[in-house]
Amino acid sequence: MKVTIPYTPRKQQAFIHEQIEKFRYSLLCCHRRFGKTVMCINHLIKAAMTCQNYNPRFAYIAPTYGQAKKIAFDYLKYYTKDIPGTKYNETELRCDLVNGARIMLLSSENPDSIRGIYLDGCIIDETAQINPALINEVITPALSDRKGFMILVGTPKGMANLFYDYYQKAQADPKWFLYKAKASETGIVDKEELDAALAVMGSQKYEQEFECSFIGNIQGSIYGDVIASLDDKKQITRVPIDPAYPVNTAWDLGYNDQTAIIFFQQIGHNIHIVDYYENKNEAFPHYAQVLKEKDYIIEHNYGPHDLDQTEFGTGKTRRETAYQMGLRFRVVPRMAIEDGIHAVKMVLPRCFIDVDNCGPLVNALRHYHRKFSDKERVYKIKPVHDWSSHAADAMRTLATGLNEIKFNNKVRQTNVDTNYKVL
């Protein structure tokens, strides 16, 4: 039986339809007005009509029952209306097709209510608002029997949600298809409308909704644009350790606060950030053991200037105490915070960051921000001190340490050249 569905996908949508059929797992990060719901419903209809399994089951899952009914059910009825033998159940929000397949519209409000079903495929829309228990506890087991597909769809809504977690996972896992659609690149919404949206929404909200920025809701983000650029250039990815080069570390020290350690390799002009570790309420022996247990050789440890502070109780500097624990530090020069931030901004474009091992570091660099003063109508110069500060300070140690290496190498080269001329 040949059936024509009244749906003509846009160029970007046609590309997505083609690609997601090659993957079991997909994540689509798309701007507002991209046509996500129409695309999703039509993909489910095609999958349901062509599935060869007995009584196939497919699901479109929205954050709430109201969203599923208001947004998707009308589309489902419209695009299946020409398929003979189709039946609809308005109460249960489902569509039964002539080949025994069923498409159900579900919500994530109560994951327990949909336990026990089996699925040949599902699409989860507005994933940033989805109950986190849904995927691991309900959907994954439901897909396992028939090895069904799962497609996560949405627009960014900050970093503290399921969508951002799976976005990071999709970046690192070749089994996932990852697609990101910015309004400035797709051309689906014309420029006049985008300009009007920008004027009404403001730059932060606009970046989130139309440019797929995960830091769009973080006002005053210091490194957000640079991290977004690394993201676009595929520099936040899997970064294996190159055994031909040594691993170095850059630290921010704390006790009641976090101690943050960045593990990196300098390979030519590029900097490969291969690992990250943080902890608190631990002394030097703990971190010495952490480094000892790594299965690679660490050459240099770069520490902040406060390593040379003398502890009142011992009469020794922190650097001397660390040395007794087997940690030899190179102390980077003291630098004004703004100069350090500038150094990081110069270094970050050269970085490739391992998405598996360095997720907390990437999150912190996205979040690190200045507070906006409503009274003065400007952002304060001093960054906000919060959970992201320690990773950002370790990154500043890394950038300052690299500048020191560059300076010392330049001095050595100058001395060599001078000696050569004298001879």
pLDDT in tens, 368-385: 999 877 677 677 888 999
Task: Please provide the CATH number assigned to the domain covering 241-412.
Answer: 3.30.420.280
CATH-assigned architecture of domain 11-217: 3-Layer(aba) Sandwich (3.40)
Whether 216 has a pLDDT exceeding 80, the answer reads no
pLDDT digits (tens, 9 = 90+) for 143-177: 999 999 999 999 999 887 899 999 988 988 889 99
What is residue 110's predicted lDDT score, i.e. its pLDDT?
84
On whether the CB atoms of residues 362 and 250 are closer than 8 A, the answer is: no
* Residue among 26, 310, 408, 367 nearest 181 (CA): 26
* Residue among 395, 379, 94 nearest 227 (CA): 395
Helix (H), strand (E) at residue 264? strand 258-267
CA distance 344 to 359: 18
Instruction: Give whole-number Cα distances, 296 to 263, 264, 290, 355, in Å.
Output: 11, 11, 12, 19
CA distance 37 to 125: 8
DSSP per residue, 375-410: TTTEEEEEEP-STTHHHHHHHHHHHHHHHHHHHHHH
Strand partners, 180: 29
Amino acid code (one letter) for 3: V
Whether 219 has a pLDDT exceeding 60, the answer reads yes
For the residues 179-194, what does the mean pLDDT come to?
94
pLDDT digits (tens, 9 = 90+) for 235-252: 999 999 999 999 999 999
SS3 state at 57: strand
What is residue 415's predicted lDDT score, i.e. its pLDDT?
47
Where along the chain do its domains lie? 11-217, 241-412
CA distance 127 to 28: 10
For the residues 28-32, what does the mean pLDDT come to?
95
DSSP per residue, 93-142: TEEE-TTS-EEEEEESS-GGGGTT---SEEEE-SGGGS-THHIIIIIHHH
pLDDT grade for 309, boundaries at 50, 70 and 90: confident
Q: What tokens does 58 get? A: 């497919």
SS3 state at 291: helix
pLDDT digits (tens, 9 = 90+) for 47-96: 999 999 999 999 999 999 998 888 899 999 999 998 999 999 999 999 99
pLDDT grade for 407, boundaries at 50, 70 and 90: very low
What is residue 256's predicted lDDT score, i.e. its pLDDT?
79
Instruction: Give whole-number Cα distances, 289 to 282, 292, 293, 295, in Å.
Output: 11, 5, 6, 12
Strand partners, 290: none
Whether 315 has a pLDDT exceeding 80, the answer reads no
pLDDT grade for 402, boundaries at 50, 70 and 90: confident
What is residue 411's predicted lDDT score, i.e. its pLDDT?
43
On whether the CB atoms of residues 397 and 332 are closer than 8 A, the answer is: yes
Q: What tokens does 175 get? A: 């089994």
How deeply is 62 buried, as exposed, middle or buried, from its count of CB atoms within 10 A (0-12, 13-18, 19+)? Answer: buried
What is residue 202's predicted lDDT score, i.e. its pLDDT?
85
pTM over 0.75: yes
pLDDT grade for 1, boundaries at 50, 70 and 90: low
What is residue 217's predicted lDDT score, i.e. its pLDDT?
62
